[in-house]
Amino acid sequence: MAIIGVGMTKFGRLQDRSLLDLLADASWSAIKDAHAEDTNFDSIYVGNMSSGKLNNQSAVASALVDRLNLIPASADRIENGPASGGSAIAVGYKTIKSGLSKVILIVGGEKMTHVSSATSTEVVSSMTHPLAEKIHGVTLPSFAAMLARLYSQKYGLTDSQRLQVAIKNHSNGLLNPYAHFQKEISLEKALSSPIIADPLRLYDCCPRSDGAAALILMNAELAESYTNTPVYISGSGQATDLHIVHERPDPLKLNAVKIAAEKTFLQANLTPKDVDIIELHDAFSILEFVQAEQCGFFEDGTYAKALEEGIVARNGELPVNVSGGLKARGHPLGATGVAQACEIVWHLQNKAGPRQVKDPKVGFTCNFGGFGNNVVTHLFSKDVKN
């Protein structure tokens, strides 16, 4: 099946737009990009984590379908924590495969900067285990810090090496007009930024952002009458892992990442060697290391070398997070999985402007829910229909 249009709002602190405004803005951009203004949509899926707690609104999908004049299309919200966007794409993928829908709008979004950081931390923490984790005050940054410590102990990763992710991703974000941050940062600045959860510093962590991203999914035959540059979804994988992080036999092995990626490659009949561009879920710098390795792109413990050698730089052999990643593009929870797909689509269509990667054929995304206990990965191809 094919993606025939994508659209995004700028990510950042968007004080004058409501959640519904953001979802509608991104949707309209995607509909316009697809030249689908007069198309009848069968279904819309909204990826959103916490409209209830953050925006005091439920049934946002029903509200959006009305706002977009897409009635009577079916409309549902798909929630899988910060991987809600990836899950919305996965549900859309299955729906097109079922033959029951031919044209689907998928939109992910979150509006969260209007609440205090204490409130948003509380909301994000509400996906940890209520009795084994949340009650003790564990937050997502603290889990990431523990992962960083384990990884450093095992592979000798230094703070300077780890923060290269932030430097690379900020450098990429500089060229992305949709990014929350469009500025480069120095190693010195990163190393002297405040500790958030030892050893992680401010520049190891993504910001809180508002924003939305959307795409139009169609069955491949129909897509040909809409665009000459369809991008095919060639694999869609999702996997879960133990909820309680300390119960995992080896917390460094993010098994859901590994299994989701394997399923996705198997489905697409592709291997990591076929991939030309990658978007990973670097909510914390260390996650880019572990995901890149668990997905099969690099041997365990070697991602620092890939960074050092420029392999994953924008102009490298296998660029990672050319969008700026969650670190610089920002992380409006439910939007992220869809924004990752938008970035890949733009590169495969040669529409990524000054940050365009040279002639990529296959792109990969990893959207990370919970602390790695519900992960969604996708493969996108320029040529392969699936």
Q: What does the binding site for its own copies look like in residue numbers (CB under 8 A)? A: 18, 20, 43, 49-50, 52-53, 56-59, 61-63, 65-67, 70-81, 87, 90-91, 93-95, 97-101, 123, 126-127, 129-130, 236, 238-244, 255-256, 259, 369-370, 373-374, 376
CB of 76 to its own copies, least distance (A): 5
Handedness of CA 127, 166, 25, 101 (dihedral sign): negative
Question: Taking CA 204 as the corner, what is the angle to CA 203 and CA 208, rounded to the nearest 5 degrees?
Answer: 75
CB of 257 to its own copies, least distance (A): 11
What's the one-letter identity of residue 121? T
Q: Residue 152 or 240: which CB sits closer to its own copies?
A: 240
CB of 64 to its own copies, least distance (A): 9
Q: Residue 94 or 154: which CB sits closer to its own copies?
A: 94
Find, among 43, 32, 27, 370, the residue nearest to 219 by Cα: 43
Half-sphere exposure (CA, 13 Å, Cβ side) for 134? 14
CB of 123 to its own copies, least distance (A): 7
**45: β partners:** 76, 106
| 8 Å CB contact between 76 and 367 | no
For 42, the token pair is: 């069968």
Dihedral angle of Cα 211, 259, 360, 37, to the nearest 10 degrees: -40
| 8 Å CB contact between 46 and 78 | yes
CB of 283 to its own copies, least distance (A): 14
Q: Residue 125 or 323: which CB sits closer to its own copies?
A: 125
Question: Taking CA 138 as the corner, what is the angle to CA 280 and CA 116, rounded to the nearest 5 degrees?
Answer: 80
Q: Residue 50 or 176: which CB sits closer to its own copies?
A: 50
CB of 243 to its own copies, least distance (A): 4
CB of 313 to its own copies, least distance (A): 33
Q: Residue 23 or 190: which CB sits closer to its own copies?
A: 23
Count of other CB atoms within 10 angstroms of residue 351: 12
**210: β partners:** 12
CB of 89 to its own copies, least distance (A): 11
CB of 21 to its own copies, least distance (A): 11
Q: Residue 53 or 189: which CB sits closer to its own copies?
A: 53
Q: Residue 130 or 177: which CB sits closer to its own copies?
A: 130
| 8 Å CB contact between 9 and 33 | no
Owner of token pair 């689907």: 104
H-run or E-run covering 329 = helix 325-329
Find, among 271, 300, 291, 288, the residue nearest to 381 by Cα: 271
Half-sphere exposure (CA, 13 Å, Cβ side) for 26? 35
For residue 32, give Cα distances in angstroms to 39, 82, 120, 242: 11, 27, 33, 41
Q: Residue 234 or 255: which CB sits closer to its own copies?
A: 255
CB of 376 to its own copies, least distance (A): 8
Find, among 66, 69, 68, 23, the residue nearest to 46 by Cα: 23
Q: Is 246 helix (H, G, I), strand (E, B) or coil?
A: helix
Q: Residue 193 or 240: which CB sits closer to its own copies?
A: 240
Q: Residue 360 or 369: which CB sits closer to its own copies?
A: 369
